[in-house]
Each structure stands twice: as structure tokens, then as C-alpha cells.
Chain A
Amino acid sequence: MTEYILRFIAGGAIVSAFAIFGDMLKPKSFSGLLGAAPSVALATLGIAVVQHGPQYAATASWTMIYGAVALACYSLAVCHLLMRFRLAALPATTIAFVVWLAVAFGLLAGFGGAA
């Protein structure tokens, strides 16, 4: 339980710090870079290294590359849903989550985890 509380606080704090920094940056397209900041990764990989060692963290970071490819596809899908289909931000970001899941798990199924 303590581990999950620690994860929650560390994740929430790092994500908030990146989000606040992103809010302060202009133009919008540049501050958007912070939307793909490694906030969850920093908290999770830090705990993974301490708990399970570097090999475990390395394995997690390999499949994170698939997650990053999926995030790129997700962001482009959100962009198109907003601009072409004129959806509001909440439905666009929710619907596009299907794209993230499909690409991430498709890559994992196709290429597998780290050797």
C-alpha cells in the first residue's frame, strides 16, 4: 500500500510540475511539447530501479518506445478530430484513446518486449 501511495504522490507531483511549466510557455505548439513529457516515466522508472534493479527498468523503457509511437498517433488523431471533425476537446481526446491502445498493443504484439 505504501508503494502505491508513494507512486501516487510522486506521479502527481511530477505531472503537475510539467503541466505548470507547460502553461507558462508560449506559443501553444511549443507548450504542447510538455504534453508528452516523461512525467509518469520518471516516477515509475525511479521506483522500478530502486525496487527491481536496472534490468527491470530497461525492459520497461523498451516497451515505452512503443507507447511513445502510440502517443504520436494519438496526438495526430486528436488534432484531426478537433480540426476536421470539429469535435470539442473532451470527446476528441477520449475517442482518440482507442488509437493509443490499438497502436501500443499492436506494436507489443508485433515486435514483443525487450530481449
Chain B
Amino acid sequence: MLVKLSSSSLKQTRWYEYGVRFLLGGFATVFAGIVSTRFGVSAGGLFLALPAIFCASATLIESHERRAKQRTGLDGRRRGQQAAALDAAGAAMGSIGLGAFAGVFYVTVLSSVIGAFTAAIAAWAVVSVSAWWLRRKLRSTSRHSRSERAARSEGGRSSLA
């Protein structure tokens, strides 16, 4: 499946769900600032990669998928869990990019602040998308070789019979 950009999924989201994400994002940023002030910048830095809105996003995805299945008369609970798990797998890939963001920012910020932000965002995007693409390629290659092996053993069995 190709990567697609579609606004149709926005219609599924209710207004308060946007509000919840805004509040969680705001509180996470304030919290990171408070930790930096109270416990030092090193401890505060950890919270720049806090999974602040992850619980809200995963719950949202799960409920959207469940609702969609329930409309067709099915339970949809398992489908919801699978969709949320896929989102989590994507976030795991994205966190490699987040590490690259932090590393590039650390190296470049002392020479140019604007350049550091630009380079760090570019690093995050390139590394995240590459990690996702690589995982997808490896999965499809292993699936393909598994099905080839199964077909070969099936062929061997039928020639023996």
C-alpha cells in the first residue's frame, strides 16, 4: 500500500478529541519545563521524548476502528487492538528518527540555531521514513521467501507421492 494523505479520517474525530490532545501536549510541554527547572536540564531533556499524547492517540485509533467494525455488525475489539498496535509499531520506527533529531540538534545548535532546527527536523523525517520503509521491505522479503519455501516443499512432497 502506498502512503496516502486523506482528510476523510478527520471527520471521524470528535471535537473534544482534538481538545484532549491539545491539553495533553500543553501539559507535557509545561511538565518538561518544570522538571528542567526543579531537577536540572539533563532530567528535563528526557521528557522531550515523553509519549505525551500516545495514550490518547492509541485509544482514539482503537475506538475509531471498533466503531467502524461495529457499524457492520461485528465486535471490532480485536481489530481496534490491531490498529493501535500498528500505530505503536510506527511510533517505534519514529523514535529512531527522534533520536536522530536530538543527535543532530546537539551537534549543530552551537553553530547556528535556525540551522540546527532545520537540520534536526530533516534528520527526523529522513530517518523515520527510511526506518519505516526498510522494515516494510524486510517484512515483504521474509514473507516472500517463506511462501517460496512452502511452495517448494509442497512441490517436493507431491513429486514423492
Instruction: Looking at the assembled complex, report how far the CB atom of A92 sits from the nearest CB atom of chain B, in whole angstroms.
Output: 7
CB neighbours (8 Å) of B87 from chain A are: 28-29, 31-32, 35
Q: Is B150 an interface residue (CB 8 A)?
A: no
User: Which one of A4, A30, A41, A86 lies within 8 Å of B48 (CB-CB)?
Assistant: A41
User: Which one of A26, A41, A70, A90 lies within 8 Å of B101 (CB-CB)?
Assistant: A41
Tell me whether B7 and A44 are in contact (CB under 8 A): no
Tell me whether A108 and B42 are in contact (CB under 8 A): yes
Tell me whether A14 and B25 are in contact (CB under 8 A): yes
Summed over the interface, the residue pairs from A and B with CB atoms below 8 Å come to a total of 322
**What DSSP secondary structure best describes chain A's contact surface?**
helix
CB neighbours (8 Å) of B13 from chain A are: 23
Could you list 20 A-B pairs, sorted by A, with CB under 8 Å?
A12-B23, A12-B29, A24-B10, A26-B3, A27-B1, A28-B90, A33-B94, A37-B124, A40-B25, A44-B36, A54-B116, A60-B42, A61-B45, A61-B105, A64-B49, A71-B49, A88-B62, A89-B58, A93-B54, A113-B45
Which residues of A are at the interface with B, using a C-beta cutoff of 8 A? 3-4, 7-16, 19-20, 22-49, 54-72, 74-76, 78-79, 82-83, 86-90, 92-94, 97, 100, 104-105, 108, 112-114
